[in-house]
Structure 1
């Protein structure tokens, strides 16, 4: 086999390049075992949690029973941030969507941009209005 070159290593991770690390490290799910607002959370824990947790093996799931409290999902991130979502009176599908939201976010707070976009050129046409269109052409799609 003189003409075959064997590649020893396909890729090499350098400083995190080529490797995706999920920012969410742990999720804590708290619920009440008898409260009416936790019914959807109990359904999710009974029917869907094992399948959902198997899809994200790098996230640690912790389930806590807190009597008398509303159900809450709390995510802990690698940048020492936390995000908390109240799941009061949500069904199992909505709770699954909230868990996906926590897993896919970075943990940072949502903020408005601090700078405004300012154009150096003024518009020649001015502000557009739907009334600038010919009336016979207004509602044609």
Structure 2
């Protein structure tokens, strides 16, 4: 992803085993799809590292953020391409959830809404005659 024309992802490092079964899809990706991906993304530095007897991983290094590691174990070549594309399209920041409820300094005069509270006048006024 870019902000003002500057890509956040700077480097991708692929670590895989040359003979491990969990690296089959990663090896196919490196042989078949990586040259085209590298050609379409000249802003990235892509390193390929042999890591004997280890499961394949990709390490994404972002500008000003800690590196992000994604496991590629038993993924097909197309799934590895999808992981590379997702890493390229991210900013690298971790997603954090807001866990605390939002409180207001000015609470509603009508009270808090709950399921089952009438939203319209769903009652009738009876004559008292």
1:48 aligned counterpart, secondary structure: helix
- Partner Cα separation in structure 1 for residue 56 and residue 99 of structure 2: 35
**TM-score calculated relative to the size of structure 2:** 0.77
- Partner Cα separation in structure 2 for residue 55 and residue 115 of structure 1: 43
Higher relative contact order (CA 8 A, sep 6+): 2
**Which of residues 108, 115, 118 is equivalent to 1:127?**
115
**Which of residues 19, 24, 28 is equivalent to 1:39?**
24
Greater Cα shift, 110-119 or 65-74: 110-119
Paired residues, number: 109
**Which of residues 88, 91, 107 is equivalent to 2:92?**
107
**TM-score calculated relative to the size of structure 1:** 0.71
The answer on whether the counterparts of 2:65 and 2:93 sit within 8 Å (CA) in structure 1 is no
- Partner Cα separation in structure 2 for residue 78 and residue 127 of structure 1: 46
When the two chains are superposed, the root-mean-square deviation of aligned CA atoms in Å is: 1.8
**Which of residues 80, 88, 91 is equivalent to 2:76?**
91
Structure 1 counterpart of 2:51: 66
Q: Which runs of 5+ in 2 are unaligned?
A: 117-129
1:25 aligned counterpart, secondary structure: strand
2:24 aligned counterpart, secondary structure: helix
- Partner Cα separation in structure 1 for residue 40 and residue 101 of structure 2: 41
Structure 2 counterpart of 1:21: 6
